[in-house]
Every structure is written in structure tokens, then in C-alpha cells.
Amino acid sequence: MIKFYIALLVMGVLTQNFVLSRFLGICPFLGVSKKLNTAVGMSAAVIFVMLLATAATYPLNILLEKNGLGYLQTIVFILVIAALVQMVEIVLKKYVKSLYKALGIYLPLITTNCAVLGVVILNIDNISNYAAYSFGFGHAMMNSFAAGAGFMLAMVLFAGVRSRLETADVPKFLQGLPITLISASIVSMSFLGFGGLVEGLGLL
Amino acid sequence: MNPILLAILIVAGIGLLAGLLLAVLSKIMAVPVDEKAAEIEEILPGANCGACGFSGCAGYAAALSEGKTKETGLCAPGGNEVSAKVASLMGLAAGTVEPQAAVVHCAGCTEAASRKMIYEGVDSCRMASQLFGGDKSCTYGCVGLGDCVQVCPYDAISLCDGIAVVNTDLCRACKKCVAACPKHLISLMPKKHTQAAVMCRNHDKGALTRKACTIGCIGCTKCVRQCPVGAIGMDNNVAVVDPEKCTGCGACHAGCPTGAIRLVFEAEGPAKPALCEAAE
């Protein structure tokens, strides 16, 4: 069902954007969107970790469910994600020094990023939500990629907005974080316009 | 099995597995850390100014420990003290650091340099110089809004009557101001003894220079003829002193008709911001 894959992609990037519609990963969204290149670097790292975390936690969830331990999801997933990111960091440091330097502080930052935990838990929820489409491992990976791509889109868009804010004449009481939060809310509202896109295109 | 026990076992098992894996990986994949480089970096002043020609203090430390360079005297802010420490750590001969200080090559204070407009924009030389080259009639001179003051990590530069002045005792030759000046007016000069310096970079013809600023170099070449050691040359209508040859005798300073040549690094006391003395 290629159609369902496309639906997942459109949902993840536009209609259910992780940052702007689900409000996950707001911290890096506000923290590292000052410059375009750091925003892109952070997003690339997030996509990578999301895919990796999904690949690791999806089978793990089956193990948990089989033993009736579904309630351990959160703690086990956090543990696994943190360990994975550390592992990736060690491997990158050894073999891909340039990528390690480029990612820099972002890799450890992602360890406890709620967007990553969010995507793996939502993937588990999707199994029952999209049971009609037999949501499986491939779908989970696609969903994670779409979530990461949506994160990247939000970061890149907002980096552009913020670079315009830098030169704008902002009233003193709004300078800094206040105007950033206000503009984030406006960008978020603009994404409401994508509502119903997936259904309208007949993808679901 | 007891579900509580099973839960504990599974979580503990996963934790143990992840921990063991990480421990093993970090041993196998350990990247050797250059301890010597870390030690050298401790000694270096940490200004990350790049005066040594490497990418910051870490870059210089790495180059030293890997033997890429044997020069221990490249750190201008650290001076001879740091050079000696690094040399004793590395077993190299201590290089001597030639003491240098930055000099702003403009003396066009408010009284001397005329203005073509009143600038009321952003307080930055870089911004102001984009608007018709700044508010002074002379487009080569110091804009006087203090970009160099901002970047100086040692508070050695101050604004005095519309021009930047370096306190040569505080200056540690990190070159940050050299890079910051949009007019490229700041250069480093060896601080061995009193030196003559041409406090003007106006490349216009003499008559034009004179209209813009009363203490600009008008390119009369009198100093070139007067200098007993031949240290002064002309570069595109501006006299330039070769600091290597200059003995600091002061003949050029005495003879300069506009007062554009000044003596810097005078032996006693901190260098007076004496740039505006002609106007006073």
C-alpha cells in the first residue's frame, strides 16, 4: 500500500507536524533555530536518531507486550534511546570524525529529546490506530522519517523567520524570547491550514 | 512468573545489556586523547585569538604536541612566560616573543577631521562605513564608533575624541582589532623602543587630504628625505615607516608639516593617547 506510506509522510510533515501541531521538541525548536546551518544539522541528527530509535524499540515493544508489560514503555524506551545515542556517539567519534564534529553538541542533546520518545510511543499507538492498514515495522520507520522531516521543515522555516526578526524593529518589551514565542505561535497557526489535506487527497 | 519480578528482570536486563555494551564499545572504540596537547592548552591563555596562525588555542596545542611546529613563541598574548612554560613541557628551545602592540593609524580627532554629515545610525563602524564611508570627510580614517573597543578582550582600546586609541601597555597583540576595523587602520608594530608611526592612511592627493583633515599625511615626502636611516617610504601618497629600520630618533616627527607622524611606545609610562595634542 504505497498510498498509506505517502499518507504517513504528508501527515508527519504537514498536517501533524511534530513541532507545530503536536508541540513536541519545542526546546531544540527554540534553542537551535537561530541559524540556518545549525538548524539543519540538528534536524538531520534528529531524523537519524528517530529512525534508529524506532528500529530498536519496535521489536522491544513486542517483547514487552507479550509479557503484559506495556506500562513499562516509557522507562524502557528512554533507557534504550539514551544508550543508543551514546553508542552512536562513540562509533561516530571513532570512524566518522567529521560528522561527529559537525553534530557536536546536538547528538547528546537529542538523548532526552521528547520528540524522539514521542515518535516511538506514537508508533506503538499507531498499531491500533491504523489497524485497518496493518501498521507494521515499515510503516513505523516511514512515520519516524516523516516526523523527523517535519521537524526539519519547522526548524528551517523558523530559522528564516528568526533571521528576519534579528533585523526587525521589535518593541523593547517584546525583544528576545517573547517575540520568538509569538512568532512560533503564528507559524504554528499557519500549519492549521494543512488540516484535512490527507483526507482531501484521498490518501486515507 | 510473578509479573513484578518479570518487570524488574526485563528492565534490569535491558539496562545491564546497554551498560555492558556501552562499556565494551567505549573500550574498543576509544580514541586516544592527546594528553600533551591538553596540558599545553592549559598553559595557553585561552583567548582563542588566532594570533599564532592556528585555529585557536586548541589548534596551536595540537600542532605543538604533534610536532607540526617547534615554535613555542607564537603566542603573542601569552608572551615569553607562556613560551618558556610550553618549551619546558615539550623539551624545546623557548622561542622569544617579540613584544608587539596595535597602533591605530589615524589621528583625525573631532577638531582635526571635518565631517560631511551627522551620522545617527547603528553604533558600529562597520555599519557606518557602509554609508558613504562614515561621517568624516576622509573616507580612509577612523570612524570612531568603537568596533575595535568592542572586540578587544583586554580593554586596551578606548575612544578618545572621535578616534580609537590603543593603550600599548594593556595590548597583548591578539589581532582581534586588526580584523575588526572596517577601514583596516590597525596594525601591529614591534614594541622594542620608541617608534615613528604615520597616523594617516589617506591615499588621496595632498590638497584633498588637507581639506578633509588638518593632520593627514599630504604626501610631501619630506620625512622620506629627512630620515637618517632610510626607514620611510611612500605608498600611494602616504608615508609608511618600516618598523624594522626605524630607530625612533624623531626627525620625521619634528619635520612633518601636518603632524601626521607621531612617536609611539615612548619609553616611560603608558602610551599617552597623545594623538590629539596638535589640536589641543
B111-149 pLDDT tens trace: 888 888 888 888 889 989 988 888 899 999 999 898 999
Which of A69, A80, A87 faces B7 most closely, judged by CB atoms?
Answer: A69
Please say if the pLDDT value at position A182 is more than 90.
yes
Domains of chain B: 35-90 (1.10.15.40), 100-276 (3.30.70.20)
Return the pLDDT at B280: 35
Strands (E), chain A: none
Cα distance from A204 to chain B (closest Cα, Å)? 37
Longest dimension (CA), chain B: 104
Contact B129, B143 (CB under 8 A): yes
The residue of chain A with its CA nearest to that of B8 is: A72
How large is the ipTM?
A: 0.73
| Residues B213, B210: Cα–Cα separation, whole Å | 5
Q: Is B8 on the interface with A (CB under 8 A)?
A: no
Task: Tell me, yes or no, if B12 comes closer than 8 A to chain A by beta carbon.
Answer: no
Contact of A63 with chain B, judged by CB distance below 8 Å, is answered with yes
Minimum Cα–Cα distance from A79: chain B residue: B15
**Set of chain B residues whose Cβ sits within 8 Å of the Cβ of A90:** 22, 25-26, 29
Which tens digits make up the pLDDT trace of A97-121?
777 776 667 777 776 678 899 999 9
Question: For residue A163, what is its C-alpha cell?
Answer: 533571521
**B238-241 and B186-190: which strand pairing?**
unpaired
DSSP structural state of residue A130: T
Contacts of B220 (CB under 8 A, 6+ apart): B206, B257
Q: Which B residues 28-47 touch A at CB under 8 Å?
A: 29, 31
> Does B14 reach chain A within 8 Å, measured CB to CB?
yes
Q: A20: pLDDT confidence band, cut at 50, 70 and 90? A: very high
Question: What percent of chain A clears pLDDT 70, i.e. is strictly above it?
Answer: 98
**CA of A92, closest CA in chain B: separation in Å?**
10
Counting as low any pLDDT under 50, the low residues of chain B are 269-280
Q: Any CB–CB contact under 8 A between B230 and chain A?
A: no
pLDDT of residue B271: 44
Please name the member of A64, A76, A91 whose beta carbon is closest to the beta carbon of B29: A91
pLDDT in tens, B249-279: 888 888 899 888 988 887 554 444 444 443 3
Instruction: Please indicate whether, in this complex, the C-beta atoms of B14 and A60 are within 8 angstroms of each other.
Output: yes
Determine whether the interchain pair A79/B15 forms a contact, defined as Cβ–Cβ distance below 8 Å: yes
Mean pLDDT to the nearest integer, A145-152: 94
Q: How far apart are CA A136 and CA A8, in angstroms?
A: 12
CB-nearest to B22 from A72, A87, A94 is A87
- Amino acid at the residue A34: K
Interchain pair B11, A63: CB under 8 A: no
Q: Tell me the percentage of chain A whose pLDDT exceeds 90.
A: 38
Single-letter amino acid, residue B23 = A
Across residues A153-168, what is the average pLDDT?
89
Mean pLDDT computed over every residue of chain A = 87
- The pLDDT of residue A46: 87
Residue type, B73: G
**How many C-beta neighbours within 10 Å does residue A49 have?**
24
Q: DSSP readout, A135-193? A: --HHHHHHHHHHHHHHHHHHHHHHHHHHHHHHHS---GGGTTHHHHHHHHHHHHHHGGG
Of A69, A80, A94, the CB nearest to B6: A69
Size of interface A-B (CB pairs under 8 A): 42
Give residue B17's pLDDT. Answer: 92
3-state secondary structure of A85: helix
Model pLDDT, residue B267:
58
What is the structure's pLDDT at A103?
A: 67
**Contacts A76 to B, Cβ<8 Å:** 10-11, 14
Whole-model pTM: value is 0.57
User: Over 80: is that where the pLDDT of A148 sits?
Assistant: yes
* Inter-chain CB proximity A80 and B14 less than 8 Å: yes
